[in-house]
Structure 1
Amino acid sequence: MTNVLGLTDDPTLIAALRRVAAAADRELCEAAAPPARRAWADAAVVVVDHAAALACAAELPRRSGVVLVCPGTADLREWQAAAVVGAEHVLGLPDGEVELLAVIGATAEPEESGGTVLAVVGGCGGAGASTFAAALAWSAGRQDAGRDVLLVDADPYGCGLDVLTGLEERPGVRWSGLTVEGGRISARALRDAVPTWTQGIGVLSADRETRAQLDAGAAMAVVDAVQRSGTTVIADVGRAFGPVADALVSLAELTVVVVPARVGAALSSARIADRLVERGVAAGLVVRGPAPGGLTPADVAEVTGLPVLASMRPEPGLAEALERGGLRLRTRSPLLGAATDVLAPVGAARPRPRWIA
């Protein structure tokens, strides 16, 4: 199926259409108006100018997905032509390129069964949220090799998920290499561009010098696009709860709060839990050992008011592994076991966290 059919002979409009189609990773078929009926019917989006709109309206049946474009600002004649051809949008170019990108991205992106978005946040400093986010991605890739997984770094104060996964020297797109000016992004192009970790898991990280410049709109556009394409998204949002974290938590089916089994950590996590509950977010705990004072997962649940999704004993050799080439998980890894427990109920109509005493 032709993705975008462009019907205009205006050089300014053609140049704009080519830029937008390239940015959306879509094929642009340029034709004279009126086109063949098959081309008109098969295109996902048809972009026409004033003259093409009138020609198509006279010769072809109405269809959805028609956009009328014009140089500069649309005037009365453009709106009249749009009404005649049944155009759903009237956009002046080049100022309207971002909106056209969003229209093409929303209409032409291949629809698959939607993926799952999980957010991970540390209940206190040093809780190990980034490590657990990586473990979730590892487990998701291991459970369903046919489904794409994207690990997203959205913690402006973290070390970087590319470092944690051992990909810091691997070429590929980072946040600073993405331009999402309020429109949509091609999920297929993004998956091909980011560095690949184990089992085909993509990792979208931030550059060290631009970590604090993450944009909430870009983050939402990226996660929305890849989730709609059927990808499982694991987002490490950190504890800062700025605009980026709030945006991604709002998209998540479940937010996982990682808490060490210590009294101070539990009290700190209670503040995070309150913030999530205020926003109506589905959330649960992963309680991480050791418990030097004998604090149980049930105790942590009582303090925070959140259910326990999983508990885990310490991961042997974790610190050394992270210093020597990035995280790698064994089959009987406590991290992997806890991640598998968290993922088990996800994808149902509603998360079903289980209590672990």
Structure 2
Amino acid sequence: MNTVTAEQSPVLTLISGHRLREEVRRIAAAADRQLAEHSMPIGRFAWTEAALVILDTAAAHECAAAGYPRRSGTILVGEGEPGAEQWEAAITGGAELVLGLPAGADQLIEVFAESGSAVDGGGAVVAVVGTGGGAGASTLAGAIALTASTIRFRPGTILVDGDPFGGGLDLLLGIESEEGLRWPDLVVEDGRVAAATLRDALPEAAPGLRVLSCGRTAPDAAPAEIGPGAVRAVLDAGRAAGDLVVCDISRERGPHADQMLDGADLVVLVATPRLRSIAAARAAMAHIRHRNPNQALIVRGPAPGGLHGDEVAEALGIPLLAAVRAQPGLSGQLERTGLAVPRGPLRAAAESVLSLLSEDDR
């Protein structure tokens, strides 16, 4: 997610061995090509949008097991002459080229020189998923967006409503009377939308924070559908502008929600320390796992049965970002004035998400 000023985008590398990683670094320096070095898991966007992906044998098997789609520009590298293990991993991981290093250095330099893609502007996308009634995914999504705009985490922040049956995020933030486009009003031509135009068209919830909310319909009308192509255009616009895009998926499923999951750098699951919420989280994870393995957990109280956040995380098998207690007075505030810049436990949960995104930037 780093901002790149060169004409070519970085090459995604997933290499665990120190010597092999150093050799690829040396070759990239000779080719004047920047590397984006990661370890598993990574977001689906990073995988699909990279100009090139360089894997070692272990990473090829991990990516295949995680369900990443096969893509062009995937190269498997190893030390010395490739053997049966490397060729098997290449077939498993969908690599188009297998190179033994350092002998294949010149060929890798040629591949670096031939590849290129549009530079991403350094933006980030986070998707927030609820795992059971009352988990508070929409509230957390709003808190992340408000906190990000307050600390100027990115040049701008866009909060995107992905739940047509949720009543509208503009109501949550108390800006339902503000003029601006909602999803039913947004028309995306040619699969693109200019970031500046989008920002200017959306209602403002706080300085630097714009909201793309679902609308409200007549009692006898079904909510307007959100097109996956429009979602992709909005995410791309925010990323290209260097903004933070926060998507509230809540418990919604469908093509538009899948597009948000696919495009996210991080998927945050929100659960309560209750058995039904844990069961719902398992079901959500089974769906999400095949779209984006880069997941983390927020546990929000109260805990009537005495379950702790780390116990919930252990039961689900994903990292715990924060376990926060119930916040007195929050429900009344949401009803009276809408969500304001969060404080207390809600602020701590939001900051834990932004902190993890900051680590990914380094």
Shared fold per TM-score greater than 0.5: yes
Q: Find the residue that maps to 2:311 and give its secondary structure.
A: helix
- Please name the residue that 1:297 is paired with: 309
1:181 is displaced (CA, Å) by 3.4
Residue of structure 2 in register with 1:133 after alignment: 141
Distance of 2:324 and 2:292 partners within structure 1 = 27
**Counterparts in 2 of 1:283 and 1:146: CA distance versus 1, 3 Å:** closer
- Aligned residue for 1:201? 209
Measured in 2, the distance between the counterparts of 1:350 and 1:281 equals 18
2:247 to 229, 235, 257: 235
CA distance in 2, matches of 1:329, 1:280: 29
Give the AA of the match of 1:285: L
Matched, 1:313 2:321: no
- Match of residue 328 from structure 1: 340
Give the deviation of 1:146 after TM superposition: 6.1
Amino acid of the residue matched to residue 297 of structure 2? Answer: L
> Does residue 181 of structure 2 align to residue 170 of structure 1?
no
In structure 2, which of residues 169, 172, 195 is the aligned counterpart of residue 161 of structure 1? 169
Q: 1:272-327: CA deviations, max 9, x gaps?
A: 11222233421111000111101111211122221111111112211111111211
Q: Distance in 2 between matches of 1:301 and 1:337?
A: 18
- Alpha carbons 2:267, 2:292 under 8 Å: kept: no
CA distance in 2, matches of 1:279, 1:183: 21
Q: 1:248: which partner in 2?
A: 260
Equivalent residue letter for 1:202: R
**Deviations 1:148-168 (Å, cap 9, x if unpaired)?**
000000112212100000011
8 Å Cα contact 1:267-1:303 kept in structure 2: no
Where 1:314 maps in the other structure, the secondary structure is: coil
Secondary structure of the corresponding residue to residue 237 of structure 1: strand
Amino acid across the alignment from 1:120? V
Q: Provide the secondary structure at the position in 2 that maps to 1:344.
A: helix
Ranges in structure 1 where 5+ consecutive residues have no aligned partner: 1-105, 352-357
- TM-score between both structures, scaled by the size of structure 1: 0.64
Answer yes or no: is 1:116 the counterpart of 2:124: yes
Aligned to 1:339, which of 336, 350, 357?
350
Residue 225 of structure 1, CA deviation: 1.1
Give how far 1:112 is off: 7.2
Distance in 1 between the 2:163 and 2:360 partners? 28
Q: How many residues align?
A: 242
Letter in 2 for 1:193: A
Which residue of 1 is the match for residue 200 of structure 2? Answer: 192
**Percent of aligned pairs with the same residue?**
43
Using the TM superposition, give the Cα deviation of residue 350 of structure 1 relative to its aligned residue in structure 2, in angstroms: 7.9
| Largest Rg, 1 or 2 | 1
Which protein, 1 or 2, shows the higher relative CO under an 8 Å CA cutoff with sep ≥ 6? 2
TM-score by length of 2: 0.63
Q: Distance in 2 between matches of 1:168 and 1:161?
A: 8
User: 1:173–1:204: 8 Å Cα contact kept in structure 2?
Assistant: yes
3-state SS of paired residue (2:323): strand
Q: Does 1:216 align with 2:224?
A: no
Q: Which residue of 2 aligns with 1:76?
A: none
**Residue 249 of structure 1 contacts residue 281 of structure 1 at CA under 8 Å; is this kept in 2?**
no
Q: Which runs of 5+ in 2 are unaligned?
A: 1-116
Q: 1:33 maps to what in 2?
A: none
Whole-angstrom CA distance in 2 between matches of 1:250 and 1:122: 17
CA shift for structure 1 position 184: 0.5
